[in-house]
């Protein structure tokens, strides 16, 4: 059993956080496990459904005063939170690795990225500008003002247990909204650690709430969606669950932001910088061992450079060090659970049965633990295989040859989702043609890692709607009010 040490042991919280109080009582409890060892690292309350109503009520009361605070005051609280996340970076990274399984290097990067949203939106909070408009009637005057939408329900996944919260909560808090957060029960400690720092940052009680459930997650989501006091739902997760939450929110016509599944294509043209294309494709594909919504799922390589690309790709992937994420020598840790492994194996077996060529076999590493899986790399992949049409969400590199620009654009677009896509070429005309033709919300050219608090993050088609980060991220937590004056002169 691997147990990390923390600079501040109090950052490991043992209960939910509602209205500024830590709640550890419940008739049922659930265990949080280290995916690498499958040993218990925490015991938390599996809360009754009533806690959602309680958290919503407190958030609604807090909203009445918090929404009236000055943007400068909210900016300062957010800046305090950024400073605290920076100070606690190592402790937060250890928590992330401990409950998620990713390498400590990746977790450190996540915490830095997560904290950047508090910095970014601390700077955006004072810049919520309205407009003046001259209407048709010369005796009327019109101006618009932006106001916080209200209480926001935030539902987040396990793959980025800190960043998926901060991307949403930072914008909400900057706008003047209050939040009720339901983290994934596999990775709740990161959310509770954030609540611990929110408390230290000075936010008023009831503004930031975290509720916990393992056995009633769908019911918690339904409560948030059906509540008339909750004015917005922000969700990151699967497309199927997003559709359910959208349907459940229809009765109250909530404002929604949905960051859903992806199936990202990487397109490598023959004139690309080959070394960079290989390096960045690997960085995208195997970040979090492929357990990210924007990771490369289909790697299209122009036929004339296919052999050279595959050789370099295999050389780089073969250098990975698989192990417990808290080991500094580890480059890639464990998958989140056994279901993730089954999905990867299903895609590998399907592709091989249909003619894919194995470049790196990979597979289970039971010598390390039940949830370890060494990356696999396949070539000669085609559109008949599951990996070409379904998101693997795991460490399978699927390389697909192509011969023409129009052919690869059509193949890349032939999916229901549209989150991220990647293009590698030195030809600026190709970049413009391909990036403008791809049906994805984000097109990353000549880099495999593009996420940044300044970038509008989000997809199109069945990858959802709404944007997180950038100045646009704030808009999703605001409503526009038009005020019309009639003047008698």
The full DSSP string for 361-398 is --EE-TTT-TT-EE-EEEES--TTSHHHHS---SSEEE
The number of C-alpha atoms within 13 Å of 258 and in the hemisphere containing its C-beta is: 25
Residue 1 has pLDDT above 80, yes or no: no
Mean pLDDT of the chain: 97
Residue 2 has pLDDT above 90, yes or no: no
Rounded to whole angstroms, the Cα distance separating 104 from 332 reads 9
pLDDT in tens, 303-328: 999 999 999 999 999 999 999 999 99
Residue 235 has pLDDT above 90, yes or no: yes
Which positions are annotated as active-site residues? 259
pLDDT in tens, 401-424: 999 999 999 999 999 999 999 999
String of DSSP letters for 70-104: -HHHHHHHHHHHHHHHHHTHHHHHHHHHHHH---H
pLDDT in tens, 314-367: 999 999 999 999 999 999 999 999 999 999 999 999 999 999 999 999 999 999
Residues 6+ apart with CB under 8 A from 431: 423, 425, 445
pLDDT at res. 241: 97
Averaged pLDDT for residues 474-488: 95
pLDDT at res. 159: 97
Give me the phi and psi of 438, to 5 degrees please. Answer: -75, 135
pLDDT at res. 205: 98
Q: Give the Cα-Cα-Cα angle 161, 162, 164 (nearest 5 degrees).
A: 75
pLDDT in tens, 444-466: 999 999 999 999 999 999 999 99
Model confidence at 184, pLDDT cuts 50, 70, 90, reads: very high
Rounded to whole angstroms, the Cα distance separating 217 from 237 reads 13
In angstroms, the Cα distances linking 457 to 107, 442, 485 are 20, 7, 38
Query: Angle, to 10 degrees, between the axis of helix 163-175 and the axis of helix 104-124?
Result: 10
pTM recorded for the entire structure: 0.96
Domains of the chain: 9-260+464-482 (3.40.605.10), 264-452 (3.40.309.10)
pLDDT at res. 489: 80
Averaged pLDDT for residues 293-309: 98
Q: Do residues 456 and 472 touch, judged by C-beta distance below 8 A? A: yes
Model confidence at 40, pLDDT cuts 50, 70, 90, reads: very high
Rounded to whole angstroms, the Cα distance separating 427 from 24 reads 58
């Amino acid at each position: 059993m691997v147990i990390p040490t923390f600079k501040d042991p109090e950052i490991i919280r043992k209960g939910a956080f509602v209205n500024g109080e830590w709640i550890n009582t419940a008739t049922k409890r659930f265990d949080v496990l280290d995916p690498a060892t499958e040993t218990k690292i925490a015991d938390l309350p599996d809360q009754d459904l009533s806690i959602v109503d309680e958290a919503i009520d407190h958030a609604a009361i807090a909203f009445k005063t918090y929404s009236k605070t000055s943007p400068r005051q909210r900016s300062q609280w957010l800046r305090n939170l950024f400073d605290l996340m920076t100070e606690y970076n190592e402790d937060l990274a250890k928590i992330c690795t401990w409950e998620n399984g990713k390498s400590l290097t990746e977790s450190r990067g996540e915490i830095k990225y997560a904290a950047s949203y508090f910095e970014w939106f601390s700077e955006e909070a004072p810049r919520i500008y309205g407009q003046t408009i001259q209407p048709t009637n010369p005796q009327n005057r019109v101006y618009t003002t932006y106001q916080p939408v209200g209480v926001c329900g935030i539902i987040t996944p396990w793959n980025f247990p800190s960043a998926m919260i901060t991307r949403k909560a930072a914008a909400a808090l900057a706008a003047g909204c209050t939040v009720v957060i339901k983290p994934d029960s596999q990775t709740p400690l990161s959310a509770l650690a954030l609540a611990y720092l929110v408390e230290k940052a000075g936010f008023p009680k009831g503004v930031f709430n975290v509720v916990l459930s393992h056995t009633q997650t769908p019911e918690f989501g339904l409560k948030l969606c059906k509540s008339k006091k909750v004015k917005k739902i922000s969700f990151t997760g699967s497309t199927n669950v997003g559709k359910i939450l959208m349907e459940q929110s229809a009765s109250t016509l909530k404002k929604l932001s949905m960051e859903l599944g992806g199936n990202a294509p990487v397109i490598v043209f023959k004139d690309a910088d080959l070394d960079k294309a290989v390096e960045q494709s690997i960085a995208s594909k195997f970040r979090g061992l492929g357990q990210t919504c924007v990771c490369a799922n289909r790697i299209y390589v122009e036929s004339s450079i296919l052999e050279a690309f595959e050789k370099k790709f295999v050389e780089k992937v073969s250098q990975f060090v698989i192990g417990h994420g808290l080991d500094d020598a580890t480059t890639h840790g464990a998958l989140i659970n056994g279901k993730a492994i089954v999905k990867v194996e299903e895609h590998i077996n399907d592709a091989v049965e249909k003619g894919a060529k194995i470049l790196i076999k990979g597979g289970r590493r039971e010598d390390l633990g039940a949830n370890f899986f060494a990356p696999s790399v396949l070539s000669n992949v085609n559109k008949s295989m599951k990996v070409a049409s379904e998101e693997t969400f795991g460490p399978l590199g699927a390389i697909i040859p192509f011969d023409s620009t129009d052919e690869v654009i059509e193949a890349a677009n032939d999916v229901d989702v549209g989150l991220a896509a990647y293009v590698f070429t030195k030809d600026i005309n190709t970049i413009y043609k391909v990036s403008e033709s791809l049906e994805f919300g984000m097109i990353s050219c000549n880099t495999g890692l593009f996420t940044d608090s300044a970038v509008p993050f989000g997809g199109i088609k069945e990858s959802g709607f709404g944007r997180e980060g950038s100045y646009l991220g704030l808009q999703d937590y605001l409503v526009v009010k038009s005020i019309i004056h009639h003047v008698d002169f």
